[in-house]
Amino acid sequence: MATDWRMIYLEKDGPLAIVMLTNPPLNVLHPQMAAELDACFTSLATDPEVVVAIVTGQGERAFCAGFDIKEFPNLMAPGEAERLTRALHASLGKIAHLGKPTIAAVNVHLFSLLKSMYSRIFWIWIRLRLLRTIVIF
């Protein structure tokens, strides 16, 4: 499948499709990436050879570090933020509703991820304990 995509890369290997976000250094979301993801997953949804899709990010620093802040000035024009939000929602919705198993291969430093998760769990536990204490007494 020949494409002129700049921010994603699609590799098919039999029943497996690997979609790689390729917007270095942190694979940030960009309007162009949203359009490419939309086209890619529209194609994968109707491809009878593809049974499973894997989405990953290029490099080891981030799977996807959010939206490209360099694009914020372009969102100041009337209606642009809403247009982009709809485009992102549509393209990410196609991933969520592909109709085939989809795996996110998140390549980040595990220690940072676990530290963040445990920190959040700890604070939720503390808040629940405080709430329970307040409700009981």
Per-residue pLDDT of the chain (137 residues; tens, 9 = 90+): 557 899 999 999 999 999 999 988 888 888 999 999 999 999 999 999 999 999 998 887 777 877 888 888 888 888 888 888 888 889 888 988 899 999 888 766 554 555 555 555 555 555 555 544 444 43
- The pLDDT score that the predictor gives to residue 85 is 85
| 125/95 same-domain check | no
In this structure, the number of other CB atoms found within 10 A of the CB of residue 133 comes to 9
| 101/114 same-domain check | no
| 86/21 same-domain check | yes
Domain count, the chain: 2
- The pLDDT score that the predictor gives to residue 137 is 33
